Structure 1
Amino acid sequence: MIPRRYLFVLLAFVIIVIGLLSHPTSREQLRQAKDYGVTAITSLTKGTPSHNQDDKHDDIPVDILPPEHLDPSAHAGVSSLTQDPQQTSVQEQGIGATHLAQEDTSSSHEDEENAAPADDPLWRGAKWMFEGDNELYPNPVIDIDTLKKYAPHNWKGHGQQTVAIFLATRNASMQDSYFLAAQQQVYRILWDPRSKSTRPLTVFVAPFVRKEQRDMLQAAGAYVREIQLVPWTPLYSLDSSPRWKDQFTKLNLWDQGDFSKILYLDTDAFPIQPFDALFDTVSESRMCNPDLLDEADRINVVEMCNYTFTATRDPRGMLNAGMFVITPNKAMHENLFRGMNRDREKYDNNIVEQGFLQYVYREDGPFPGQYVDRKWNAIENQPEDEGVTVILHEKLWIFYFMPDHWAVHYFNDTWMDMRELYQSPRFEQLRAADGLLQPIA
């Protein structure tokens, strides 16, 4: 008798193959899909541990383990000139001999800092099928050292507005699913004619994010900035994923005073249509209700009472922090840090920073949030959302499990478009038009 969990894995593998066959694809991709499924089955039968990632709160656990984590010291795929697998290793190419970063984005941590954190009894959530390495999407083969010499795309200097994402993967593999998603975000936000912005993209990275991952994002035109982690301890043991433990780091976005406005997107909140209206017309400034402020917060009422917080609600009416627009403000940043621990009993710890922001920007509080149409952050989307959605908040890289979904091919097709542009002579011309990198204060 075959155990039920093995039958489930076999069924999942069949779904992968059916999903790929439902759309034109290369034999190489089909082979990779087969290997992906076989690795998942092998990992399950051998009890291979899965690995922690970064962001969000909208997931359904499935008892499938991802492929084994690739040893970064042995993983070919990115170098000064990124390589296809089977080609020269990272060490032989001498990655990082010169690092012309916008600021020092190389991690000061040792290699072991990239490892997933030790098991924490406060974070008891399951690992997920969309975590770990994804071999279906080969990295672009580009000259990283040349391309990263150019300034960030759309860069206008101090005081500008920016789109932002936060990458906090502890997986050093260049095939890490969240790193691949971050790459596609760079393409969609900066280059894709269907969705590109006129603003720059800032990729905030945790201190442990691998240098080669940072370099790839920078070469593609993003501004890469390391951000200090914000530790947070829940009141009680959570059924939440360990990868959420870094999510309070988003509070440090309020401290990025060199930007006049920040539109934050989760790594899996993909723009599929133009979205600059969130900067231009949708988000609005508001005035706080000072009478509702705590006494400690009233000291800075003049500095922080004029604020911006634009977000959406999920189908249950809860704030979803996968997209929000803010105006950075030092006093508000300090206010958030005071409330983060002081008010832990007043917000839902299970949804981490999302619960806290929902409490801070509640309608009957001193800073009522502006909540806009769900098309700006479509989570748990429906068939009628096709053609209406502007930002699609889904794990698109695993949609081959959902062959009937209207966005089933979105990640795959955009990945191919991205590789085609990045690997063309035209892309270096586009990056050269951004000008050479200058020191950024």
Structure 2
Amino acid sequence: MAPHSPPEAASMTMGSTSSRLRRRIYIPVVLTFAALLWFFFKKRPEVILDPTYGTLRPLGPYPTLAVATLLCGEAYDDTSYIDFTRVLTYQLLHDPATRLNNTIPFLVLVCSSLPAAHKERLRLDGATVIEATDLHLPGWIHTGVTRWKDQFLKLRLWEMVEYDRILYMDADTTLTGPIDSIFDEEIVRLPATTLTFRKEAIRADEASLPAEYLFAARSNNEFTGQREHPFPPPPTSVFSAGFWIIAPSKEMFNYLMSVTGHRRRFDPTTMEQSLLNYAFRREGAMPWIELGYHWSATWPNLKDLDGGVVSLHEKLQWEGPEELQKLWNEKKRKMDAFYGG
């Protein structure tokens, strides 16, 4: 029969086992706690911004201005957007009630897939057609509708530094009056200074922010009651990506593209609207500037029309109040008559 272990030895064995168990529990807990302390109290890498990088010039007496839109996804039978674009071209270039100063061109950025006949038709209508080079976006940027990724081609406007200011508007826009005096607004003429003191909003893993910028837009009525929004509508923290003014800047283009390289930095399901609302977020270093409510309305209603809002952003060919649909269709009729049908 094997001899029994003395009580002291058994006690030592139990104590040793208990000690090992405590170490197994305590060490991971201590390491986790230390990691949390490091995460919350680590010193952020200091971001040094060059005060001369990406500076802009105020508008002089003879600025180079442009109005632009984007036309993509027309390689199928639906001609709705070519109709929208043609009607907008007519309003901006030919309609006496809404046409631009003749020194301001109307640019139509088009995808390479757009049928050649559509491009030629727009040129004959008077638009300046620019075939935009595709952007190489990472795979995480996708939506349920593949062609929506084409909306990121709007970013190409920042590369067009031959212009001092560009007003972008979606093609499904109906004008009630001239739009070009928007370039006379002080907030459009003078560039804004990047708020470098908001260091917590500047990410070291993104490209350097330019020292100056201009991004002016309108609050999105989707968040103020949609079709039932009051007039004038209250401001919101989110703008519509269908109407904005920029000062082109290659430095800003590089910054925006760098943001796309970081997975889920913005919500890809709302495409470039989410990217731009992230880049120019109100609490960020480059907060977007609010244009006057009379310049543009999303989810337009009759109060907007009666209040003299200059541009109504809606697919009025088939959506919106009946009176506004009649307004768009009348402009389509005038365009057809102007071009002889």
Residue 203 (structure 1) aligns with: 108
3-state SS, counterpart of residue 338 of structure 1: helix
Residue 323 (structure 2) aligns with: 406
CA distance in structure 2 between the aligned counterparts of 1:267 and 1:237, rounded to whole angstroms: 22
Per-residue deviation at 1:289?
1.4
Per-residue deviation at 1:233?
4.7
The partner residue of 1:416 within 326, 333, 336 is 333
Residue 193 (structure 1) aligns with: 96
The partner residue of 1:348 within 240, 244, 267 is 267
The partner residue of 2:243 within 320, 323, 340 is 323
The partner residue of 2:316 within 393, 396, 417 is 396
1:214 pairs with 2:119: yes
Per-residue deviation at 1:166?
0.6
Residue 257 (structure 1) aligns with: 161
CA distance in structure 2 between the aligned counterparts of 1:286 and 1:196, rounded to whole angstroms: 29
Residue 99 (structure 1) aligns with: none
- Partner letter of residue 419 of structure 1? D
- Is the CA contact 1:247–1:353 (under 8 Å) kept in the aligned structure 2? yes
1:274 pairs with 2:178: yes
The partner residue of 2:213 within 296, 302, 307 is 307
Task: Please give the per-residue CA displacement for 1:209-239, whole angstroms capped at 9, x wherever unaligned.
Answer: 111111111111111111112243564874x
The TM-score with structure 1 as length reference comes to: 0.54
Residue 161 (structure 1) aligns with: 65
CA distance in structure 1 between the aligned counterparts of 2:141 and 2:167, rounded to whole angstroms: 32
- Partner letter of residue 379 of structure 1? T
CA distance in structure 2 between the aligned counterparts of 1:381 and 1:186, rounded to whole angstroms: 21
Per-residue deviation at 1:272?
2.2
1:244 pairs with 2:148: yes
Q: Which has the larger radius of gyration?
A: 2
- CA 423–333 in structure 1, closer or farther in 2 if over 3 Å, else same: same
1:381 pairs with 2:300: yes
- CA 298–290 in structure 1, closer or farther in 2 if over 3 Å, else same: farther
The partner residue of 1:364 within 268, 272, 283 is 283
CA distance in structure 2 between the aligned counterparts of 1:383 and 1:234, rounded to whole angstroms: 42
CA distance in structure 1 between the aligned counterparts of 2:130 and 2:86, rounded to whole angstroms: 15
CA distance in structure 2 between the aligned counterparts of 1:405 and 1:385, rounded to whole angstroms: 14
- Is the CA contact 1:165–1:203 (under 8 Å) kept in the aligned structure 2? yes
Task: Please give the per-residue CA displacement for 1:79-118, whole angstroms capped at 9, x wherever unaligned.
Answer: xxxxxxxxxxxxxxxxxxxxxxxxxxxxxxxxxxxxxxxx
- Is the CA contact 1:159–1:260 (under 8 Å) kept in the aligned structure 2? yes
Fraction of identical pairs, as percent: 26
- Is the CA contact 1:165–1:267 (under 8 Å) kept in the aligned structure 2? yes
- CA 378–241 in structure 1, closer or farther in 2 if over 3 Å, else same: farther
Task: Please give the per-residue CA displacement for 1:269-306, whole angstroms capped at 9, x wherever unaligned.
Answer: 2322111122111524211012434446675x5xx322
Residue 134 (structure 2) aligns with: 229
Residue 74 (structure 2) aligns with: 170
CA distance in structure 2 between the aligned counterparts of 1:280 and 1:266, rounded to whole angstroms: 21
Task: Please give the per-residue CA displacement for 1:403-439, whole angstroms capped at 9, x wherever unaligned.
Answer: x532121222111111222229xxxxxxxxxxxxxxx
Residue 337 (structure 1) aligns with: 257
- Partner letter of residue 65 of structure 2? Q
- Is the CA contact 2:74–2:81 (under 8 Å) kept in the aligned structure 1? no
Structural mapping, 1:54-65, within 5 Å: none
Per-residue deviation at 1:172?
4.9
CA distance in structure 1 between the aligned counterparts of 2:134 and 2:295, rounded to whole angstroms: 27
CA distance in structure 2 between the aligned counterparts of 1:376 and 1:345, rounded to whole angstroms: 32
CA distance in structure 2 between the aligned counterparts of 1:374 and 1:206, rounded to whole angstroms: 31
The partner residue of 2:194 within 266, 288, 291 is 288
- Partner letter of residue 81 of structure 2? Y
- Partner letter of residue 302 of structure 2? P
The TM-score with structure 2 as length reference comes to: 0.70
